[in-house]
């Protein structure tokens, strides 16, 4: 049985953003059964969790007694298990892999920088100058991505793949801003891919799990 390990609860700003969503979504698209396992939010520094995820992050993927971390690696593994997630033809598969890495390597760091500034550094006296700088870089990346997506329904291979899961969840990272929607092709792409029933099911399940573990006041 496949299991996804994630944290039991997060504060409101992280609802719908936890990266276990990538794995839940892929497994829903593939129709593969899985269960969730939860680690306490503050329990990720212990040796047991570090043995699974050396950086103390979530998610962790478990299958047949073996575990993996890094959502990109896990998505590529899942792509080998289901035709719903990946084309079979080599060139199309390479295009999918290329865009999955582009999402996680060329777009995610720029958007994550905005989140780090907005969530953790807003009270610093250097915040605004630094924030303006990271936004400028992020806008450049998003503009380049919009130029590609203006002519495409999906990001790679002319069909839905794990690269769309990576790219869409990356674009969601800055959902506290209107940055993505300020580029029409990106807003349309994100809305189109998020409308998929498997995404909606995975998101609803993530939110329900977070609510079920909310601290009692």
Ligand X SMILES: N[C@@H](CCC(=O)N[C@@H](CS)C(=O)NCC(=O)O)C(=O)O
Give CA angle at 108 (102, 109), nearest 5°: 110
- Cα–Cα distance for residue pair 108/63, rounded to 1 Å: 27
- Cα–Cα distance for residue pair 124/180, rounded to 1 Å: 25
- Quick one: 57 or 177, whose CB is closer to ligand X? 57
In whole angstroms, how close is the CB of 69 to ligand X at the nearest point?
A: 6
Position 19 contacts ligand X (CB under 6 A)? yes
Position 171 contacts ligand X (CB under 6 A)? no
Are 71 and 24 spatial neighbours (Cβ–Cβ below 8 Å)? no
Position 158 contacts ligand X (CB under 6 A)? no
Binding mask 49-88 for ligand X (x = CB under 6 A): -------xxx----------xxxx----------------
In whole angstroms, how close is the CB of 75 to ligand X at the nearest point?
A: 9
Count of residues that interact with ligand X, criterion CB under 6 A: 9
- Quick one: 18 or 180, whose CB is closer to ligand X? 18
- Quick one: 86 or 206, whose CB is closer to ligand X? 206
Question: Distance of CA 210 to CAs 15, 39, 201, Å?
Answer: 8, 12, 14
Taking Cα atoms as reference points, which of 90, 107, 87, 89 lies closest to residue 99? 107
Binding site for ligand X (CB under 6 A): 18-19, 56-58, 69-72
């Amino acid at each position: 049985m496949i299991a996804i390990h994630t944290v039991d609860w997060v504060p409101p700003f992280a609802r719908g953003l936890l990266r276990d969503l990538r794995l839940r979504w892929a497994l829903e698209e593939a129709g593969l059964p899985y269960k969730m396992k939860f680690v306490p939010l503050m329990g990720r520094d212990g040796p047991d969790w570090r043995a699974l995820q050396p950086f103390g992050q979530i998610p962790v993927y478990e299958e047949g007694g073996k575990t993996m971390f890094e959502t990109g690696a896990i998505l590529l593994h899942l792509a080998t298990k289901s035709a719903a997630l990946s084309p079979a033809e080599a060139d199309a598969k390479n295009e999918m892999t290329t865009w999955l890495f582009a999402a996680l390597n060329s777009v995610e760091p720029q958007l994550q920088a905005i989140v780090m500034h907005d969530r953790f550094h807003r009270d610093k006296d250097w915040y605004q100058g630094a924030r303006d700088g990271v936004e400028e870089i992020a806008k450049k990346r998003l503009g380049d991505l919009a130029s590609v997506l203006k002519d495409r329904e999906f990001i790679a291979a002319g069909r839905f793949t794990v690269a769309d899961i990576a790219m869409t969840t990356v674009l969601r990272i800055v959902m506290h801003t209107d940055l993505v929607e300020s580029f029409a092709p990106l807003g349309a792409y994100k809305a189109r891919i998020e409308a998929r029933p498997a995404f909606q099911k995975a998101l609803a399940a993530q939110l329900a799990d977070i609510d079920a573990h909310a601290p009692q006041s």
